[in-house]
Structure formats: C-alpha cells, structure tokens
Amino acid sequence: MQDCKSIHEMLRAGGETEDIREAAYLAGEQRCEEAVPALAELLSTGNLGIQEAADQALRKIGGKSTVAAVIPLLRSDDAPARNLGMDILRAVGVQDLPALIELMRDEDDDVRIFVSDILGSTDSVASVAPLGEALLKDPEVNVRYQAAVSLGSLGHKESAKYLNQALGDEEWIQFAVIEALSKVRDDSSVDALAKAMTKSSDLVASMIVEALGEMGNVKAVTMLLRQLDKSPTALRNKIVKAIVQILGGKSLTMLSENEREKFRQYLLVALHDEEVDIQDAAILGLGFVGGEKASREVLAIAADMDYDNDHDRMERSVESLVNIGLTEALKNGLSEGSYKTARLAVEALSRLGEEGIPQLLMSSFWDKERDLQRDIVSALSVCAGDEATSFFVEVLGKHNDGTVLKNALAYLGGLSDEALGETLFSFLEHPYDDVKEAALDACVAIGGSDMSKRFTELFKSPDPVHRLMAVYAMGKLGVQEHMNDIKAALEDEVPDIRKVALEAFTGMCMELSEWMPVIQSRLSDENREVRLTVVELMGQCPETEVLEYLKQALQDSDDWVRVRAVEALGARRSPDAVPELVHLMNSGSTLLALKAVEALGEIGGKVAFRSLLELVNSDDPELQAATEEALARIQETEGGDL
C-alpha cells in the first residue's frame, strides 16, 4: 500500500488520466490531508474523470484543510470548477463554519451569495445568525434573497425572528421569506404574517395565506376570518382553503351560527375556483357546514370529474355528500340526473344508513339503464335489510343481467331463509358460470336439511357439472353428514370432482385419520392436480401418520408433486425425512435440489448439516448460494449443538 507522501507526489507529477484518478482515489481512501491542495487544483482541470475523482476524495478527507483549499474556487471564473467547489462546501463546510461565516462580510457580492447558499446546507443552528444578519442588512438584494431561502432550508426556529422582520422588504424578497416561514413554522410568525398581509399586494397576500394554511396554526383563523369580507374573490378563495386546512372539516361546526352561514356562502363560491386544491377544500368544508344547495353543487361538480383520473376526488365528494346527509338534491340526482350524477347519488345514499333509503333505491330501479341498475343492487346488498327480500326475489324472476343476478343471489343467501332455498337452487341451471357460482354460494349460506337433500339428489346426476357443484356444497355443509357421497366422489371418473371432494377435508386434520385410507389412495391418482391436492391437504396436518404418505409422494413421477411434498416436510421439520431429502439433492432436477436444500435448512440437525456441507462447493451457483443460506440458518438456530 502506498503512503500519503508518495500519493501526493503522484498527484503533483501529473501523467496519464487513469494514474491521476487512481492517485486521487487512494488519497481519499487513506484520508491524505497533505494531498488536499493538489486535489483542489484538479477540480479546475476540465477533465471530468479527474474532477470526479478529486471531488470524491475531498469529500472523504473533509476537515478545515479541505474547506480552506476549496474556498478560493468561489472566486473562480470557471463556472464548472466553481460549482464543484460549492457542492463540496455544501457537504463539508460545516466542519469549518467560522471560515465560511467570515466570508459573509466579503466585498464581493457573488461570494456572499455563494456562501449564503452553502450555509443553508450545513444543518447547523450556528449558520442562522450570519444568514439572519445578511437578510436584514446586506445591501445586495440577491444576498438577502438567498439568505431567506437558506434559512428556510435550515428550518430552525431561531430563524423566525429574522424572517419576521424581513417581511417589509421588497416583494421579491418577501416571496422567499414567506416560503421560509412556512417551513420554519414558528408560532411567532403568525402575527407577523397577519400584520404583513394588511400592507401587501394581492400576490404577496395570497402567498401569506398559503403559508398560514401550510403552517396550520389555529391562531391564524380569527385573522383570516376577518379578511374574508374585505378580500377580492381570488384571494378570498385561498383564505377559505387555508381555514379548512387549519381547522379541518369537523372543527368548522364549532364556528358561531353567523360565521358558519357566512363561511358556507364563501365555500360555495370557492367550489367553482379554477384551482383544484381550492375546490377540494371547499368540498371538504361543505360536508360539515353544507345544506341543500351545497349538496346539489357538490354533486354537480363531482359528476363532471373523470372517473379514472379523478377517482380519489370523486370519493372525497361522496364522503362530503354523506356528511351533509339526505337531501332533495340526492333524491333528484337519483331520479332525474344523468348516469354519472345518479351513480354518485346511489353511492352516497347507500352509505347514509337512514330509514327509507332502501325503498328509495328500489322504487327507482326498474326504469334505470342496466349499468345503473347494477349500481343500485350493489348498494342495496350493502344497505338494505329484510325489507328488500321481495324486491330481490322479483329481480331474480325478471332480470337477465349476470351482475344484477349475482348481487341478488348474494343478498338472498345472506338472509339464511330456508324458504328461499328452492328459488336459489334453480339458478344452478343458469347458463352463466359466474351466476351458477353465486347461486351455489347462496345455497350453501342458507344450508339446512332441505338444501342438503337437494344436493344429495343433484350428486346422482349424469352431468359432471351438477356432481361438481353437489360435492362442493356437501363439503361446505358438512363432510360427516355427506360421508358416503363424498367417498363416492373420490372415485368419480372426472378429476375435478375428485379434487373438489379432497378439498372438502381442508381444515379437518383431527378427523383425517378415519378418512386416511380413502385419501391416501388418491396419491396414485392418474391426474397430477388430484395428487397435488392430496399432498397439500396432508401438508397442512401436523399428525405423524401423514409423514409416511408425504415421503411416499417424494417418489411421484411429477416434479411439482414432489416439490410440494418437500415443502410440506420442511415445514413440519421432520428429522425422519432427512435421508429422503438428501437423496433428492442429487436427483438431477435443479428445482427439486433447491427445494430439498431449503427443507434441510428448516429441519436442521447434524445429518442435514453434514449433508449440506458436501454440497457447498457445487458447480451450480444458485444451488451453492441456497446451500450456504441453509447452513447459515442451521448454525443460527442450533449453534454449538452441531
């Protein structure tokens, strides 16, 4: 390794670009302080590779020597070199703040501007005072502007006293000061901003209002309310937004009745502002101080929104309509409005939870277009009680749209009324598969002895779809009650039926032993999916009796069946399976080998550990990495017991 002296000499000697870059890299790695002056000179070479290497080295070395060496670049006419110097000082300048602060009194305006910028990156409260003094006293407007920006970047509360005093500066500086105050968020600034607002142009006043809204200090609300009557419309709308930002929606209800009524009118005006964020604030506010007119106008605004691009805004509008409550505007929107208006009205009505709303939705259903009918039945399935039973039965009898029918079936199934069983069961013959599925779930939800008899009879059908639905339902309604039929289904000629019959035992590990002879016979099923289902079913059960069957599945002809068996054995942490898993590591299948290694890592123990050690030098990098991970896992869990 070269020492710092020789590295310094390499930098001074110059030579090929790669040699210089290498020397700069070494200087940084070894923190060679004596190389700092030479590295600083390299920033002006114009060679990007050398400049980058010198830059990185100086950042690593840092310290007062780096700050002192880079400061002269602030006076350079070479803009790229000067910018590099500023970037470095932003990173390490805090390591010698006095040297930078001294430059705040430099005669060169540009130097003071640059240093004001750099101090904003120091994250040091010691930078606040010199920046504050520059903000209030420097004759150069650009220095004052940059000082304000940097005080905002620092964000220290100590900045507030300087920023508050600078609110009387020229307009350009005021912009930077106001933005900085919104970042500092000191309580003392609320009064200062309020006073400045009365003396400012509409543009500056607008920025002050936005800052007060961002700061969120409730002290500003009284002043902002006083400004509402005397402000032009554009500014007043911003004030409305700021008040909503500060108070939130619910707190608006705490205003006096007169204040609330006046604020409602201003919110209605702000609702039509060109700025979307002002509209959104008005929508939020009207949800808590609204009324009939507010409901109508929020509904109209939301109906003009684009469903895909403004979905979140539409959702907030619906929430506002719900907060306002049941209004004639919502009723009219449902009965007379466009599709978009009616759709929003349906959504809002469904969330209100008020008596009479289900009847309102049901009475409007039959004269609406199909898509809106879908929305209405979806809403009713959420908000309606038993009073909608006859309506949904009528829908099943008259309608032919799959989505509408599925909602009706889901609702009626949820009633658990056995009297509806025959009606729901008839929809198992529907031509749409998704309607059949909905009807099947509804029938299962109703349950009862009559429904069980229907499915027992359906299982005798020569139609495989009928038998499939019957087996699924019988599994859900109770395996014990349908034992003979499910056992017969395990021998059905259709693989999907055998698979569904097996799935009926999911979650029944305690009762699995009495069924094991029938279930394990499916391990030799001709269909891979059936065998996979057996392995997955057994893998869920901790009982020792399934272990031998899982080991048997390791001999399956299909790799995926074997993989699932390996995973199940690993999850069980079965030491008895280690020999078989070790054998699989050399099966010729990379996938099986990887899974076996992973399982051995989960099982652990000396035999697994030693077997994995033999594989750690595998030529397959993926297998080698998996083996190393498995070994590390065993070491972590078992440590000195190996």
The phi and psi torsions of 417 (rounded to 5 degrees) equal -95, 110
- Over residues 94-120, mean pLDDT: 96
pLDDT at residue 297 is higher than 70: yes
pLDDT at residue 14 is higher than 80: no
Picking from 258, 249, 182, 256, the residue whose alpha carbon sits closest to that of residue 220 is 182
pLDDT tens, position by position, 116-135: 999 999 999 999 999 999 99
pLDDT of residue 6: 82
pLDDT tens, position by position, 44-72: 988 899 999 999 999 999 999 999 999 99
* Consecutive H or E run containing 584: helix 578-584
Computed over every residue of the chain, the mean pLDDT equals: 91
Long-range CB pairs of 622-626 (<8 Å, 24+ gap) are 622/590, 622/594, 623/590, 623/593, 623/594, 623/597, 626/594, 626/597, 626/598
pLDDT of residue 272: 95
Radius of gyration of the chain (CA): 38
37 burial via Cβ count (<10 Å: 0-12, 13-18, 19+): middle
Whole-prediction pTM value?
0.75
Q: Which residue has the tokens 């309608």?
A: 399
How is 209-235 classified by DSSP, letter by letter? Answer: HHHHHHHT-TTHHHHHHHHHTTS-HHH
List, in order, residues 6 or more apart from 492 with CB less than 8 Å away: 467, 471, 498, 501
pLDDT at residue 642 is higher than 70: no
Where exactly are the structural domains of the chain?
A: 573-642
pLDDT of residue 239: 94
pLDDT of residue 510: 66
Q: Are 173 and 141 contacting, i.e. CB atoms less than 8 angstroms apart?
A: yes
pLDDT tens, position by position, 451-496: 999 999 999 999 999 999 999 999 999 888 898 999 999 999 999 9
Neighbours of 58 (CB within 10 A): 30
Q: Class assignment of domain 573-642?
A: mainly alpha
pLDDT tens, position by position, 316-356: 999 999 999 999 999 999 998 899 999 999 999 999 988 89
Q: Specify the amino acid at residue 35.
A: A
Neighbours of 527 (CB within 10 A): 14
